[in-house]
Structure 1
Amino acid sequence: MAKIVLNVALSALKYEAMYAGVAKNLVASSVDGRKVQLPLSAFQRFVIHQGIHGFFEVEFDDSNKLINVTRVQ
């Protein structure tokens, strides 16, 4: 199982684009420099009034399928 850490800074306005059908994925660089594309819906539970901000640990299975996203303190 692979894990990466992302530093996400997504404004509420940009996150709102998902509901309008404009954006479906979040493209971000991990703290070690790898670029990943994830479904924006995986971050829905972390949305606050200002959007989505913070460090997140993302877990993948051996087939690179998304397993879990958790906020890192």
Structure 2
Amino acid sequence: MAKIVLNVALSALKYEAMYAGLAKNLVANSLDGRKVQLPLSAFQRFVTHQGIHGFFEVEFDDSNKLISVTKIR
């Protein structure tokens, strides 16, 4: 299983626009420089009034299928 760490900073307005159907995925760079595309729904439980902010550990299986997203700080 592979793990990456992302630093996500997505304002509430931008999240709202994405959630309204303008986008279904979050594209971000991992701390080690890899660009990843993840379903926005994987971050839904981390949404606050300020949007989505923080460091997240993302775990994938051997087929690169998303297993989990965990906020680490």
- State the TM-score bracket (shorter-chain normalisation): over 0.9
Instruction: Find the counterpart in structure 2 of residue 53 from structure 1.
Output: 53
SS of residue paired to 2:42: helix
Instruction: Find the counterpart in structure 2 of residue 26 from structure 1.
Output: 26
1:66 partner amino acid: L
> Normalising to structure 1: TM-score of the pair?
0.96
2:53 partner amino acid: H
CA distance in 2, matches of 1:26, 1:45: 14
In structure 1, list runs of 5 or more residues that go unmatched: none
SS of residue paired to 2:21: coil
Instruction: Find the counterpart in structure 2 of residue 5 from structure 1.
Output: 5
Confirm whether residue 44 of structure 1 aligns to residue 23 of structure 2.
Answer: no
SS of residue paired to 2:43: helix
> Normalising to structure 2: TM-score of the pair?
0.96
2:64 partner amino acid: N
Q: CA RMSD in A?
A: 0.7
Query: Shift of the alpha carbon at 1:18?
Result: 2.8
Where is the helix percentage greater, Structure 1 or Structure 2?
Answer: 2
Residue deviations 1:17-53 (CA, integer Å, cap 9, x gap)? 2332101000000000000000000000000000000
The number of aligned residues is 73
In structure 2, list runs of 5 or more residues that go unmatched: none
